[in-house]
Chains A and B, each alone.
Chain A
Amino acid sequence: MTSDVANSRVALTGLRVFYALLVLFLYAPILLLAIFSFNDNPTPAFPLERFTMRWYQQFLSNPQLIGSLRNSLVVASISSVIAVALGLAGSFLLVRRRFVGKSAVSALMLSPLVIPYLVFGIALLILFSAVDEFLTNTMGVYIGLGLHAVVVGHVVVSLPYTILTIVPRLERMNISLEEAARDLGAGPAQTLRRVTLPLLVPSIVSSFLIAFTLSFDEFAIASFLTARELTWPVYLFAQLRFPVLLPQLIAVSVIVMVLSIAVVVATEALRQRAERRLDLAPPA
């Protein structure tokens, strides 16, 4: 029970109202989009017409749209796997090892958090252009921009998030479990595989999802690095100039939004349950 303003009934009621209004404000635009995705009017405007599912059907027969969704799925999957793998390595490094220059390494691994994506996207654009310039002049080959460049960029910006997710779990982990495994004759690799990593699974899954969501939705960096194959946000952005496609785009957006909220909520619930079961002693 707190002893300041929140102790007063009037203030609490006011705060509750404010909370409700804010939730309304935050969700109204999303709900409006959802409503208009079923509206039988190519322009999202009032008054509402009949209910229809045709926008949801229409986008399924739009190969470019589907292609961009597929590209984003592929890019997000690959970059997340790499980011989680590198994040695991980085986390073990920060939690389990002591070495010279550790704080500098720690700062380096977290620094992509603060770089503006505009600057980073441009930097990667210039990097790939410079490398291509060099390769063309020396060997006559050419890498070019494209989805591979987007994967590279997304791994960099996802890495801090994976580390920040895995490190706390690793720090809190009970080392006696690993020592018991070693005492029973398991080698280091076996201990890692059968004790440490399974205990880390909730945070590994969490960090994968964070990286995936980040990559799937990321526009700024991808906008500088895509070539002919577009990712979903880049495609969406490009099509926003054409009003005729708007209803389809809204329909897909609603699906993506609902899915992402559902996945986040489900994962968080599962993760908390898994962590409670995997901890022999809950954290103090």
Chain B
Amino acid sequence: MRPPETRTARPARPRTWPATLGLLSGPLLWLTLFFVLPIVIVAAYSVGILKLFPTDTSSAFHDWSRLLTGDSIYLGLFWKSMRVSLIVSVTCVVVAYPVAYFLALGARKRKYVLLLVIIAPFLTSYLLRVLAWKVILGDAGVINSFLFWTGLRGSDDPVQWLIYSQFTVMLVLAYVWVPFVALPMFVTLENLDHSLLEASADLGASRWRTFLRVTLPLSGSGVLAAFVFVFIPTIGEFVTPLLVGGTRGYLYGNAVSDLFTQGLDWQAGSVLSLFLLAVVAVLMAIFARFLQVRSVSA
């Protein structure tokens, strides 16, 4: 209940237009110049309207058709990245849900502290956490040296599939994202109307039945949001594969990055980047319908 004296701001009247324009100009100008414009330029570059190097062609629809008809390796790499992202996202959600549930409905007094403990690793450096796994999983790394030391394996026989494989990439990415994923699910579960759960119990449903038929469905939007928050960024992931993926863990993002830093075919790289952006935009549009995204301020 708000006390009667508390009021929040009403939208301003038209005579404050100059102030509005002034406020608008800062962030909008920056974003237009440094966010919208670069993307437009990439699009123009990818179809050959813009040229940067002497070797750039102006019929880069060629690159686009190669990508989309699967004439090159890139489409296959793209589906590989989608698959990896899907596995990582599902794993993160499945692992984090019990924790979110426990904190929202089970823990009572110190739930926010316990939540912070789970989230804190996500706030430390991403690169460092990947580095930690590189140190742990290597052929002479922590796990293998431990196995040698305790005699469980000979020192000429390290466990090799631990690193530089698709498994490594998925494990490290899941490790990185699980803390982040717990938060949206926790928020949804915490905001659940407990009276609905009580009503279910009053109507005779067992605890498990209540959970499966009431709690779980009601937390669906949090679960979906968590899934989307991991899935979409991970499609374009290239840093983890670069550090611990090797050749088997090579993903679409690596192909794009290499076209700029190794292959020096910027036009093909732009085409691939734009394709990724388009996919992300489409996915966001689809999920936004499901998630009923509100604007920031009503």
> Which of A's residues lie within 8 Å of B, judged by CB?
1-8, 11-12, 15-16, 18-19, 22-23, 25-27, 29-30, 32-33, 36, 43-47, 82, 85-87, 89-90, 92-99, 102-103, 105-112, 114-120, 122-127, 129-130, 133, 152-153, 155-156, 159, 163-164, 167, 170-176, 213, 217, 219-220, 224, 233, 236-237, 240, 246, 249-250, 253, 256-257, 260-261, 264-265, 268, 280-281, 284
Knowing A118-B273, A130-B50, A261-B120, say if A98 contacts B260 (CB, 8 Å).
no
Knowing A6-B105, A133-B52, say if A97 contacts B27 (CB, 8 Å).
no
Knowing A5-B211, A122-B260, A219-B127, say if A87 contacts B27 (CB, 8 Å).
yes
Instruction: Assess the B236–A116 pair: CB atoms within 8 A.
Output: yes
Q: Provide the bound-state CA to CA distance between A108 and B34, in Å.
A: 12
Of B102, B129, B140, B146, the contact of A43 (CB 8 Å cutoff): B140
Chain B residues whose CB sits within 8 angstroms of the CB of A8 once the complex forms: 207
Instruction: Assess the B135–A32 pair: CB atoms within 8 A.
Output: yes
Instruction: Assess the B120–A264 pair: CB atoms within 8 A.
Output: yes
Separation in Å of the B39 CB from the closest CB of chain A? 5
Q: Provide the bound-state CA to CA distance between A3 and B210, in Å.
A: 8
Instruction: Assess the A156–B31 pair: CB atoms within 8 A.
Output: yes
> Most chain-A Cβ atoms within 10 A of its Cβ — which of B198, B235, B239?
B239
Chain B residues whose CB sits within 8 angstroms of the CB of A167 once the complex forms: 296-297
Separation in Å of the A218 CB from the closest CB of chain B? 9
Instruction: Assess the A3–B198 pair: CB atoms within 8 A.
Output: yes
Chain A residues whose CB sits within 8 angstroms of the CB of B286 once the complex forms: none
Knowing A6-B102, A15-B102, A174-B8, say if A219 contacts B50 (CB, 8 Å).
no
Can you list 6 A-B pairs, Cβ within 8 angstroms, ordered by A?
A3-B201, A19-B114, A30-B132, A95-B297, A173-B8, A249-B131
Knowing A22-B99, A32-B142, A118-B257, say if A256 contacts B125 (CB, 8 Å).
yes
Separation in Å of the B253 CB from the closest CB of chain A? 5
B197 proximal to A (CB < 8 A): yes
Of B2, B28, B210, B260, the contact of A284 (CB 8 Å cutoff): B2
Closest 6 CB pairs of A and B: A116-B236, A98-B11, A123-B38, A45-B145, A29-B132, A4-B210
Q: Provide the bound-state CA to CA distance between A7 and B266, in Å.
A: 58
B37 proximal to A (CB < 8 A): yes
Chain A residues whose CB sits within 8 angstroms of the CB of B52 once the complex forms: 126, 129-130, 133
Scan residues 143-185 of chain B and give those whose CB is less than 8 A from a CB of chain A: 144-146, 148-149, 175, 178-179
Q: Provide the bound-state CA to CA distance between A43 and B176, in Å.
A: 24
> Most chain-A Cβ atoms within 10 A of its Cβ — which of B141, B273, B274?
B273
Instruction: Assess the A220–B101 pair: CB atoms within 8 A.
Output: no
Digitize B239-255: 1 where CB-to-A-CB distance is under 8 Å, 0 elsewhere. Answer: 10001000000000100
Closest to B214 in A: A4
Instruction: Assess the A220–B120 pair: CB atoms within 8 A.
Output: no
> Which of B's residues lie within 8 Å of A, judged by CB?
1-3, 5-12, 16, 20, 23-24, 26-28, 30-31, 34-39, 41-42, 45, 50, 52, 95, 98-99, 101-103, 105-106, 114, 116-118, 120-121, 123-129, 131-136, 140-142, 144-146, 148-149, 175, 178-179, 194, 197-198, 200-201, 207-208, 210-211, 214-215, 232-233, 235-239, 243, 253, 256-257, 260, 266, 269-270, 273-274, 276-277, 280, 284, 295-297
Of A25, A85, A116, A126, the contact of B26 (CB 8 Å cutoff): A85
Separation in Å of the A94 CB from the closest CB of chain B? 4
Closest to A8 in B: B207
Chain B residues whose CB sits within 8 angstroms of the CB of A130 once the complex forms: 41, 45, 50, 52
Of B35, B194, B197, B256, the contact of A112 (CB 8 Å cutoff): B35
Chain B residues whose CB sits within 8 angstroms of the CB of A126 once the complex forms: 38, 41-42, 45, 52, 266, 270
> Most chain-A Cβ atoms within 10 A of its Cβ — which of B7, B27, B124?
B27
Chain A residues whose CB sits within 8 angstroms of the CB of B30 once the complex forms: 82, 86, 155-156, 159
Chain A residues whose CB sits within 8 angstroms of the CB of B141 once the complex forms: 44-45
Chain B residues whose CB sits within 8 angstroms of the CB of A15 once the complex forms: 98-99, 101-102, 106
Chain B residues whose CB sits within 8 angstroms of the CB of A43 once the complex forms: 140
Instruction: Assess the A240–B211 pair: CB atoms within 8 A.
Output: no
Instruction: Assess the A36–B135 pair: CB atoms within 8 A.
Output: yes
Instruction: Assess the B31–A261 pair: CB atoms within 8 A.
Output: no
Instruction: Assess the B26–A86 pair: CB atoms within 8 A.
Output: yes
A26-B179, A97-B23, A114-B280 known; 14 new pairs, CB 8 Å cut-off, are A4-B210, A12-B102, A29-B129, A30-B128, A120-B35, A124-B34, A124-B38, A126-B41, A153-B34, A176-B7, A233-B125, A253-B128, A260-B125, A264-B123
Separation in Å of the B270 CB from the closest CB of chain A? 7
Closest to A22 in B: B99
Q: Provide the bound-state CA to CA distance between A249 and B297, in Å.
A: 44
Instruction: Assess the B124–A260 pair: CB atoms within 8 A.
Output: yes
Instruction: Assess the B98–A2 pair: CB atoms within 8 A.
Output: no
Chain A residues whose CB sits within 8 angstroms of the CB of B136 once the complex forms: 29, 32
Q: Provide the bound-state CA to CA distance between A31 and B295, in Å.
A: 41
Separation in Å of the B138 CB from the closest CB of chain A? 9
